[in-house]
Amino acid sequence: MDNNNLEQITFGGGCFWCVESCFNMLKGVQSAISGYSGGHKDNPTYQEVCTGETGHAEVVQITYDPAVISYEQLMDVFFFLHDPTQLNRQGNDIGTQYRSVIYYKDDAEKAKAEEAIKVSQESGRWTGTYVTELTQFDKFWPAEQYHQGYYNENPTQPYCSAVVGPKIQKFKKHFGELGMLNAE
C-alpha cells in the first residue's frame, strides 16, 4: 500500500468487536482500530461508554488505500455487517453506544455517505427505514488495548462464539466470493 495516499473513515455499526475483525480482513485496509467517537468526554473508558452517559458510539476507524478499496466498497461492507434500521441497538446490544453512525470529515465525504445510504436502502438488503446518523467527525479515542483484535484473541468467549463468529463467517463467505479478502 502507498502510505502517502491512505485515507481514514470512522463509523459505528454496533459492537466494535464484530466490525473491526471483518474490516481487518479486507484487501486495501491497513488497519481497523476499535474506539469511541461522538461523545462529550475526553479519553473515555469502555466502562464509561457502556453507561451511555458519555454520548460516544463504539466505532471503528479504518485506514485504507483508495487505490485498492473504494469508499463505496467500505460502505457496502459497513451496511452488510449491521442492521442500519435498528435505532440505538444491534440485536441484543442496546444503547446509544451501539448506534449506526457515519462520521464524515467534509462536505464531499458527507455527500458520499448520503449516496451510500441511498444505494444501500434501494438494494433491499434491509427492510425498514435507515436510522444511520451522519455526524461531523470530531475526535477518535482508541479503545483499550484488550479490545483491539478481540475476536481473534477470544474466539471461544461466549459473545464471540454466539454473535461475532457467525457474523464473520457470513462476511467471509460473501466478500471472499467477491475476491475482497486478504489471503489467510
- Enclosing H/E stretch for 142: strand 140-142
Long-range contacts, stretch 53-57, CB < 8 angstroms, 24+ apart: 55/96, 56/97, 56/141, 57/12, 57/96, 57/97, 57/98, 57/99, 57/101
Q: Taking a C-beta distance cutoff of 8 angstroms, is the pair 80, 13 a contact?
A: no
Catalytic-role residue among 15, 18, 22, 160: 15
Is 15 a known active-site residue? yes
The residue type of 158 is P
Place of cell 463467517: 169
User: The C-alpha cell of 122 is what?
Assistant: 434501494
Alpha-carbon distance of 87 to 118, in angstroms, equals 17
Neighbours of 153 (CB within 10 A): 11
Contacts of residue 94, Cβ cutoff 8 Å, sequence gap at least 6: 88
The residues annotated as belonging to the active site are: 15
